[in-house]
Amino acid sequence: MDPLSDFIDKAGVRGAFFARARGRAPWALATRGADEAIFHVIIDGEGIVRLADAELSAAANELPWRRGDIVVLPHGHAHVMASAPGVPAVAIRSIAPVIGDDGLPCVVHGEGGALSSILCGTFGFEAEAAEHLLPHLPPVLVARDDGGALAAWIDATLRLISDERTLGQPGSGTVLQRLADILFIHVLRVWIAQRKGPAPGWLGGLSEPGVARALQAIHDEPRAEWTAAGLAKVAGMSRSAFYSRFTAVVGETPGDYLAQWRMLLARRYLRVGDEGIASVAAQVGYASEAAFSRAFKRRVGVSPAAWRAAQREDATLRVAEA
């Protein structure tokens, strides 16, 4: 499994489609933001996205979008989707939605001009997944349609999503989750491919053959006793050239990346599984429970047992409050 797929599979990414928006130009809808990543699939129309925070907006500018594009706000920043720059925004929460044929709430706004149709949703991340991915993503990104291919792919995916929601067959929740995963992977893939320069962090490493082979080796065998020399051999490079290139592209040494990925896996295993600490230690490449516990506490701040207990207490409180 390639590193991006492995990340999606193991890191606890989850998606939820929740609403549609339809606007007749001129229109502008302000969203106050969320604790999760927000995405907008542009079914029809064109417009711009701007961030509500003035400092962030100045850095990102107003990004245009059109039919077939996917707009993503990875950090859940408050923002405005509008038919054009300068249109006064209305808070989306102030408009009562109507329920569409597909069962989704739909917000309708505007004054009768050109139509924009948007599917909106969120991606949620477990804490360790957010730490591994979000620092490498900008406040807002737009995956551009590539001559109709992206729009055709989105249309097919949305038809599947609509069918699953409408028919309500057994397993539909899992199918919708997987379709959300696919959409998120596709957004990252297109964003990486369309950037003028390399993507930051480990995402950038996916575009460099040697570094990508080393990343894949780490993800394929996280428990292996990897050394810089061993990973350099996998990458097909000299040790010094590999170490220098990996560190420059990924932003951390091969050893640090390996340790970080092992800790992400360990936290997930501790969160969702019932294996003992020694078993988790072995799964992520530590020869003894004591060595794993020292490494875990050094990076996370508490022992594995204490961390697991705190996570389970938080989960119990969330259930009680629901």
Beta strand extents in 54-176 (DSSP E only): 63-66, 70-73, 79-82, 90-91, 98-99, 105-110, 115-125, 141-143
Q: Centre a 10 Å sphere on the Cβ of residue 137 and count the other Cβ atoms it contains.
A: 19
pLDDT of residue 54: 66
Ordered per-residue pLDDT tens for the chain, 322 residues: 578 877 777 766 676 667 889 999 999 999 988 888 999 989 889 999 999 876 666 666 789 999 888 899 999 999 999 999 989 999 999 999 998 776 778 999 998 899 999 988 888 887 777 888 888 998 998 888 766 666 677 667 767 766 766 666 777 777 777 777 777 887 888 888 888 888 889 999 988 999 999 999 999 999 999 999 999 999 999 999 999 999 999 999 999 999 999 999 999 899 888 899 999 999 999 999 999 999 999 999 999 999 999 988 877 776 566 5
pLDDT value of position 318 = 67
* pLDDT in the model for residue 62: 83
Domains in the chain (CATH in brackets) are 3-196 (2.60.120.280), 203-317 (1.10.10.60)
Tell me, what's the pLDDT at 322? 53
d(CA 71, CA 292): 40
